Structure 1
Amino acid sequence: MDIRVATLCDFAQVREGLLFVSSAGITRVYRESFPAPVGMMLALVLEMSPVEATDSHKVRVRVEDADGQKLAEIVGEVQVKLGSGHDPGELVNVPFVADFRTMNLPAPGRYQVAIQPETPRVNPVALSFRAAVRG
């Protein structure tokens, strides 16, 4: 398994095995005051072999402050039922979305979203962003 797409965005959803993403690539969030809702989501595409895709895999996503302290965590599970449309040995793209829109950021500063599939040999990915007072 590999993480092929990882982005912070305004909105994401999975429909019929496809990932829909709106306003991707967020690196800054501006709020009038703090604490304030983070107001964003994480969109992922995991690439798996057919054997991996039919097994269940957990994906742990954490929002952390600059010191690595956990502010929020979502653990999701992915598994695909392969249909007759896949060629033998064809890699499978598996979309995954984590919704952090209502989670509060305590203060302005640097934060990161850490992504760790609970599967051997998959490197974790971290996406950083800065929260600031609008002004």
Structure 2
Amino acid sequence: MEIRVATLCDFAQVREGLLFVSSAGITRVYRESFPAPIGVMLALVLEMSPVEAANANKIRVRVEDADGQKLAEMVGEVQVKLGSGHDPGELVNVPFVADFRAMKLPTPGRYQVAIHPEVEGANPVALGFRAAVRAKA
């Protein structure tokens, strides 16, 4: 399993095996005051072999502060039933979404969303971002 697409966004959903993403590439989160909702979702596309796709695979996603302390965690499972439209040995793209919009960030500062596929040989990915107080006009 490889993570081919990983982005923080305003909104994401999976429909009919496709990933829909709105306002991707978030690296800054501005709020009036803290604690405040993080307000972001994680959108992934996982590339899997047919054997991997047919088995249940766990993915652990953590929101962490700058010191690596866990603020929130979600464990999801992906498994795909391959239809006749796939060629033998063809790699499979599997979309995955994690919703952290309501999770509270305690203070301004650096954070990251760390993605850990619980599959042998899969590499973790971390998406960093900064939370800041919105400047008053």
Q: Same fold (TM over 0.5)?
A: yes
Name the residue aligned to 2:129: 129
Query: Residue 112 of structure 1 corresponds to which residue in structure 2?
Result: 112
Shift of 1:83: 0.3
- Corresponding residue of 2:102: 102
Supply the distance in 1 between the matched residues of 2:124 and 2:106 (Cα, whole angstroms).
25
Aligned residue pair count: 135
Deviation at 1:33, TM superposition (A): 0.2
Instruction: For 2:42, give the aligned amino acid.
Output: L
Query: Separation in 1 of the partners of 2:35 and 2:52?
Result: 40
Q: 3-state SS of the aligned residue for 2:62?
A: strand
**Is 1:69 the counterpart of 2:69 in the alignment?**
yes
How big is the shift at 1:89? 0.8
What is the TM-score when the length of structure 2 is the normalising length? 0.98
Which position in structure 2 is the counterpart of 1:44?
Answer: 44
Partner Cα distance (2:52, 2:40) in 1: 29
Give per-residue Cα distances to partners, 1:81-133, cap 9 Å, x unaligned. 00000011110000000000000000000000000000010110000000000
In structure 2, how many angstroms separate the alpha carbons of the residues matched to 1:57 and 1:74?
14
Q: How far 1:20 moved relative to its partner?
A: 0.3
Tell me the percent identity: 86
**Alignment correspondent of 2:91:** 91
Letter in 1 for 2:22: S
CA distance in 2 between partners of 1:55 and 1:85 (Å): 18
* SS state at 2:53 partner: helix
3-state SS of 2:22 partner: strand
Counterpart amino acid of residue 129 in structure 2: F
Aligned-partner SS, 2:51: helix
Structure 1 gaps of 5+ residues are none
Tell me the distance in 1 between the aligned counterparts of 2:65 and 2:28: 14
Q: What residue in structure 1 maps to residue 17 of structure 2? A: 17
State how far apart, in whole Å, the 2-side matches of 1:17 and 1:54 are. 15
The structure 1 segments of at least 4 consecutive aligned residues displaced by more than 2 Å after TM superposition are none
* Structure 1 residue identity aligned to 2:17: G
